[in-house]
């Protein structure tokens, strides 16, 4: 594909769809972040009230409401949401550079690397979340009508995506270097 063909990328329906979807995803992440932040504040602010209501309903033998564990889960969820927000912003910047006709810009290699690290960090956050949720299992089991299930395992598709992002970053870095070399010889 020539540079002239790439420069008409502003009218490309696929790139337009990518831009719209990344904007929608960032908007959803912003709404989710607001909701999770409010929920975390509410859990901590009203923990005594929640605990009192649980004791009134279940009796005094029930363990204390794990407000700090729930707040930790919400904080970790907020970190995941923030990582997703940044991820989609980097993706939109790459889409825009393709539309501008300059996909092999060095910035795109950095963006892809950042996206890979964000994805890897998300896996780490989810592992910590699983540990926090597991620590709450005994409290949840005390609830007669509560049901807890955790699905912990390796998502090979996600791991493959992380590897592909790191490899694409190298490809883009190499493409940018080749372009600079070519421009230097012309």
Q: How confident is the model at residue 146 (pLDDT cuts 50, 70, 90)?
A: low
Q: How confident is the model at residue 41 (pLDDT cuts 50, 70, 90)?
A: very high
Residue 136 and residue 69 in contact, taking contact as beta carbons nearer than 8 Å: yes
Joined tokens for residue 19: 């831009």
- How many residues can be counted in the chain? 186
Joined tokens for residue 149: 């299930």
Q: Is the pLDDT of residue 107 over 80?
A: yes
Phi, psi dihedrals of residue 46, rounded to the nearest 5°: -105, 20
- How far is Cα 34 from Cα 70, in angstroms, rounded to an integer? 16
| DSSP tag of 64 | P
Joined tokens for residue 52: 């009192």
Residue 89 and residue 30 in contact, taking contact as beta carbons nearer than 8 Å: no
Task: For residue 128, give the nearest of 67, 47, 84, 74 by alpha carbon.
Answer: 74
Q: Is the pLDDT of residue 128 over 70?
A: yes
- How far is Cα 161 from Cα 120, in angstroms, rounded to an integer? 10
How many helices (H) and strands (E) the chain has is answered by: 7, 0
Q: What is the pLDDT of residue 149?
A: 67
What's the mean pLDDT when you consider all of the chain?
A: 87
Q: What is the pLDDT of residue 183?
A: 73
Task: For residue 161, give the nearest of 105, 124, 123, 104 by alpha carbon.
Answer: 123
């Amino acid at each position: 594909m020539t540079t002239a063909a790439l420069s008409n990328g502003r009218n490309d329906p696929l790139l337009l769809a990518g831009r719209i979807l990344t904007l929608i995803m960032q908007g959803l992440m912003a709404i989710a972040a607001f909701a999770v932040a409010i929920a975390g504040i509410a859990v901590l602010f009203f923990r005594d009230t929640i605990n009192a209501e649980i004791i009134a309903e279940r009796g005094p033998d029930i363990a204390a409401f794990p407000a700090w564990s729930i707040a930790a889960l919400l904080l970790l969820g907020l970190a995941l949401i923030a990582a997703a927000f940044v991820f989609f912003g980097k993706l939109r910047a790459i889409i825009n550079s393709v539309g501008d006709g300059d996909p092999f810009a060095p910035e795109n290699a950095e963006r892809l690397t950042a996206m890979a690290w964000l994805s890897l960090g998300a896996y780490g956050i989810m592992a910590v979340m699983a540990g926090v949720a597991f620590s709450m299992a005994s409290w949840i089991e005390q609830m007669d009508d509560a049901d807890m299930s955790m699905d912990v395992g390796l998502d090979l598709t996600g791991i493959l995506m992380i590897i592909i992002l790191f490899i694409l970053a190298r490809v883009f870095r190499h493409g940018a270097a080749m372009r600079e070399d070519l421009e230097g010889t012309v």
